[in-house]
Amino acid sequence: MVDIAVNEKEWNKLSDHDKARINEIMKTSGLILEGDSIVGAKKPGVLTPAWHIPNPVCKLGCNVAEAAAIAACATFSGAAAAVCIAAAHTAADYCRSRC
């Protein structure tokens, strides 16, 4: 289980429904795994796993998943769209760190 952190102030402004939808978008796009979640934090950052084997095909997959998640973020408006896109970028960075 990994928590992918986004800006806490912005995250806390969203409804529980929007938070759940953002988490679902990140999971269905493949950027985060079942059990992982997007959360608000004062200092957002990317977690890097202890193991790291560079794999360009994996990184390409993360890039595609990031693009899909960002496209799905278009279903939101206003602050929720901005948080969703930020979550997609942060989750994609985490995804690429696992490659």
CA distances from 91 to 24, 29, 47, 96 (A): 12, 10, 10, 9
Number of folded domains that form the chain: 1
Tens digits of residue pLDDT in 55-83: 888 999 999 999 999 999 999 999 999 99
Q: Which domain holds residue 32?
A: 3-97
pTM across the whole model: 0.80
What average pLDDT does the segment 45-53 reach?
54
User: Is 49 a residue whose pLDDT tops 80?
Assistant: no
Tell me if 63 sits within 8 A of 86, measured CB to CB.
no
pLDDT for position 70: 96
- With cut-offs at 50, 70 and 90, classify the pLDDT of residue 24: very high
Residue 47 has pLDDT above 60, yes or no: no
